[in-house]
Amino acid sequence: VHTHGSEAYTPDGTDIYEPSDNNTRTLDENYNVVRVGDEMERVFTELGLTVVHDRTLYDYPKYNGAYDRSAEAVQRYLEQYPSIKIVLDVHRDALVDSDGTVYKPVLQIDGVKTAQVMLLVGTDDAGATFPDWTEHLALAMEIQQEMNSLWPGLARPITLRTARFNQQLTKGSLLVEVGSHGNTLEEALAGARLFARSAAKVLLARVGA
């Protein structure tokens, strides 16, 4: 799922898109994070996982309330497909300094410029009910360890937040930030592929267990 599906990357070469409400968002699913989700879906499916990819843009035309709208969709999917084990909310980060400098988390992996990936875990620190958030943290730590074991530096540090980000709806949900708006789409796709391979290894092991 993509709560902020219109999030896009820095145009580069042939990756040129028509902006929507600002220069870092687009409704064109060939260039926003929905395309990144497509890449994850392809890898997950090739490795034997069954995927439901919600391509809806919950942040357009109205940004506020996007998490409420995506939560309603997740609840419908969970009712329709009770076998769902994990929900990934795929985003891209925004890293900008107070002076307007844009940063991008990137590294070279096997000669390919690759966007780093950050896992975000919600908590109950703001007072909302979320008693099992540490289970989500444990999953994030497993996937992060797998990423950095296979490709050192691929994973940025896990971020804990006070809000829940709809993760309370399942026993296994994570928010995945693939690169930032400073990255190119190709860098993000490279990071998405490696993240998906790492996450699939963890998830398949859990199913086997």
- pTM of the shown model: 0.95
Binning pLDDT at 50, 70 and 90, where does residue 19 land? Answer: confident
The rounded distance, in Å, linking the Cα atoms of 136 and 40 is: 20
Q: What sections of the chain are H helices per DSSP?
A: 33-46, 66-80, 133-150, 185-208
pLDDT of residue 208: 65
Confirm if 204 and 119 have CB atoms less than 8 A apart.
no
pLDDT tens digits for range 90-111: 999 999 999 989 999 999 999 9
Confirm if 175 and 167 have CB atoms less than 8 A apart.
yes
Look at 59 and 206; give whichever has higher pLDDT: 59
How many Cβ atoms sit within 10 Å of the Cβ of residue 50? 10
Peptide bond preceding 61: is omega within 30 degrees of 0, i.e. cis? yes
Give mean pLDDT, residues 170-191.
Answer: 96
pLDDT of residue 133: 95
How many Cβ atoms sit within 10 Å of the Cβ of residue 100? 6
pLDDT tens digits for range 51-88: 999 999 999 999 999 999 999 999 999 999 999 999 99
